[in-house]
Structure 1
Amino acid sequence: MHDVSPIRAKSGTNQEGASAHNRRVMIEALRLNGALSRADLARATQLTKQAVSNIIEDLERDGLVAALGTVRKGRGQPFTPYRLVPEGAFAIGLQIDRHLTRVVVVDLIGNVIARANAGLPFDEPSEGVAIILALIADVRRELAGLFAQSEPRLVGLGVAMPGPFGLKNSDNKWMMPAWQQFPLVEALAAGTGLNVGLQNDAAACATAERIVGAAHGVDHAVCLYVGYGIAAGLILNGELYSGGNGNAGEVGMALLSPAGPGSTPLEHRASLASLYQHLGLDPTGANLYEKIGELALAEDPKVMDWIKDAARDLRWSVHLIETIFDPQTVILTSSAPEALARRLLDAMQPLLPSIADRPVRRLPRLQLGTTDPWAIAVGAAAEPISRAFDPRFSAILKAG
């Protein structure tokens, strides 16, 4: 008898016509748990063994799943585990920020296969898109050189950029107004021939945490992203929540004093943009990431002053997030170097009292997540993978 510990998976449906949903349930179970046998999959997804066998055979034919060697444990029946094939699918992720762009290619399980980056002209999207399309063409050529049949397995392009989207006062320079008003999705779709999805950078960061970071296997988590601006990526009931207009989690827009004259949004005081301004650094400058990391490691007095003030405001934002969303944990993520993010995390203690301050906790109220500046591009690449392979319960509704 092999291991009977709980397996993370959603329920499949045995009703006729829901095979697309069941395929996605099976792929997600293998992505979350690693190799599983047919019996494991049937038990976890509540599908019949015959339904599981049929789907596994289909996924093998499609090059998405492969069998491992037969396992014998004790006196029980031998069984064959199955795993996802990483090169069964690929996706491209694109990060667009105020002054730079990053492009990555990932495989089905989130491994980064190729990457490229370049500077962007501020608020000149026509020129910027030309730069981006050239980068995407470069990484596609690199991918094709590694995997000859990669193009048919490329499921889409995910784009992440600062939000919020579609607001009335979109001339606010914090919101990249020229890019907001530019037909970005249409231009990228036409230039690449791929399906394109757009989300804000905090949502992409949360997706990256869900795949390979501190939110893996956590059903209720909020990722507080401190970049050039500030936002929160919401993982609720195990799924990314984007809101009615794709703007959920834009906590950086929250005012730190009552609305009216003198009111200040959080991101104007606690974001990396405010740090660059405080230090008199050019955000387009060379080696900015390394320079900030060195200053934080050396406990530069001006950096430590900024950390003290930013931590006070971010401590309040954690209290707000916990009160509204009741997450299992809040994860501080950043495009800043780890040395700065860790000092910021430490300075946020002790946290303000909130409903999350419970006597029994499995996870800390606040923990450090990814500080890799490429995390947003990786999270963006996960969006088309999710769109193609994660369970969509509309499949059940249509079947009914």
Structure 2
Amino acid sequence: MDKSAAGHPDNSFDALESRMRGSNQSGLRAHNKRAVLSLIRRNGRLAKAEIARRTGLSPQTASVIMRSLEAEELVLRDQPQRGRVGQPSIPMRLNPDGAFSLGLKIGRRSVDLVLMDFVGRIRGHERLAYPFPQVREVLDFVAEAEPKLRALLPARLAGRIMGLGVALPYELWSWADEIAAPRGAMEEWRDLDVPRVLAGVTDLSVNVANDATAACAAENVFGSGHSADFVYFFVGAFIGGGIVMNGDLVSGRLGNAGAVGSMPVPREEGGSAQLINFASLHLLEKMYGAEGGDVLALWRGDISWESFGPLRDRWLDRAAYGLAHAIAASCSLYDFESAVIDGRFPASVREDLVARTAAALEQINRQGLSPISVRPGSIGIDAREIGSASLPFFAHYLLDHQVFLTDAE
């Protein structure tokens, strides 16, 4: 993709490509292979000559690496591109069947397990809704769902599942009161060694990330927004998010950067509250429950958003108000190009929330702040699952973008 056509400052992508530059020293071949794969992933497809130019590798070294990746079936030859003179160039692209991973999202109201291919497409999805997460129930779900997903692959591809990525909320146990879990029922999560317990039900290596961080990473890695600097909001049971600067998702000193749910938002009646009290699906759930509705219907997926009636508009207006103030506050710290909003709702609801947020943002005094666009995320409901499933790919094949809260085998 042409950088200027994508609307990005050249220096942002110069910074990205500088981190992908390789070396002709044989001892760094593994790094160079990761750099090449990362570059192809970011651009969709590239010819060998362009790969050599962008990585700084010699044409001979680039050719050796490309032959190796092709032999490993990690890349495929695309249709030849004929130029004005000389032989046509042959772009290379990632092979969807080159590698697979499993992504596990452990949420406050549901758990999901997906099988994802090398280009970020979900090949299979299993889900379970519950009133609150219990360790035994989650482990039993994984033990039952994993074989179903593995069975979707033909035998020749079964050995290409590279690992299990896990996304779960920061301090999951601390949300028991908000989701009306019995006292002490979620304490088992406090000191749980997630990779160790999952090792009891799977033979795969395990990497762990914060759920909102994983969603932001999915937007950054697989999204179509093409923005190198954005603040990200994912609306789930409780809202979370992330920060992307110069194409890298920023983790922060303690791995808690982008904790947007804790941002203070002024109340119209005075005082303030955190963003989670304005733009979380938990609020819609409570509103629906107060009118006698089934509060878990939202998480099982057996209710349409139109069924919420006036509650839908009330929730959207409140969420948009909170998001607008959070975006304005974010702009006072860094000149983001865009604010990206995604969540566990249909695309039509996402578009409506984005439009209402943009309108609410216009009502806030932003004198002295750089302009920012508000746009919908391009991943959707499965952003956290896709983000978690990308973890094994970074562990084995791609350059680490320094975002994930770790990891074990």
TM-score by length of 2: 0.82
Partner of 2:42: 32
- Between the aligned partners of 2:367 and 2:281, the Cα distance in structure 1 is 26
**Aligned-pair Cα RMSD in Å:** 3.0
Partner of 2:343: 334
Partner of 1:380: 388
Partner of 1:274: 283
Gap change, CA 1:98 and 1:256, over 3 Å in 2: same
CA offset digits 1:340-396 (Å, max 9, x no partner)? 3333222221413266534xxxxx5211114732222122111211222222499xx
Partner of 1:361: none
Gaps of 5+ in 1: 359-363, 395-400
Q: Give the letter for the 1:29 counterpart.
A: L
- Between the aligned partners of 2:151 and 2:122, the Cα distance in structure 1 is 15
Gap change, CA 1:244 and 1:155, over 3 Å in 2: farther
Mapped pair 1:357 → 2:367 = no
Residues 135-284 of structure 1: matches in 2 within 5 Å? Answer: 135-143=145-153, 147-164=154-171, 170=174, 173-174=177-178, 177-215=187-225, 217-256=226-265, 264-280=273-289, 281-284=293-296
Partner of 2:82: 72
Partner of 1:96: 106
SS across alignment from 2:388? helix
Contact kept in structure 1, 2:231 and 2:241, CA below 8 Å: yes
Q: Residue 397 of structure 2: which of 383, 389, 397 is its match? A: 389
- Between the aligned partners of 2:45 and 2:348, the Cα distance in structure 1 is 36
SS across alignment from 2:93? strand
CA offset digits 1:43-93 (Å, max 9, x no partner)? 111111111011112112212123345543332233332222111110111
Gaps of 5+ in 2: 5-9, 180-185, 403-409
Gap change, CA 1:371 and 1:209, over 3 Å in 2: closer
Partner of 1:324: 333
CA offset digits 1:104-159 (Å, max 9, x no partner)? 1111111211111122462421222111221122111222xxx3233332111111
Contact kept in structure 1, 2:128 and 2:300, CA below 8 Å: no
Gap change, CA 1:138 and 1:356, over 3 Å in 2: farther
Partner of 2:128: 118
Seq. identity, %: 30
Q: Give the letter for the 1:283 counterpart.
A: V
Contact kept in structure 2, 1:206 and 1:233, CA below 8 Å: yes
- Between the aligned partners of 1:222 and 1:4, the Cα distance in structure 2 is 21
Shift in Å, 1:257: 6.0
Q: Give the letter for the 1:284 counterpart.
A: L
Residues 18-57 of structure 1: matches in 2 within 5 Å? Answer: 18-57=28-67
Partner of 1:366: 374
- Between the aligned partners of 1:164 and 1:219, the Cα distance in structure 2 is 29
Contact kept in structure 2, 1:221 and 1:329, CA below 8 Å: yes
Q: Which has the larger displacement, 286-295 or 331-340?
A: 286-295
Contact kept in structure 2, 1:12 and 1:21, CA below 8 Å: yes
Q: Which has the larger displacement, 285-294 or 312-321?
A: 285-294
Gap change, CA 1:287 and 1:263, over 3 Å in 2: closer
Partner of 1:397: none
- Between the aligned partners of 1:385 and 1:355, the Cα distance in structure 2 is 41
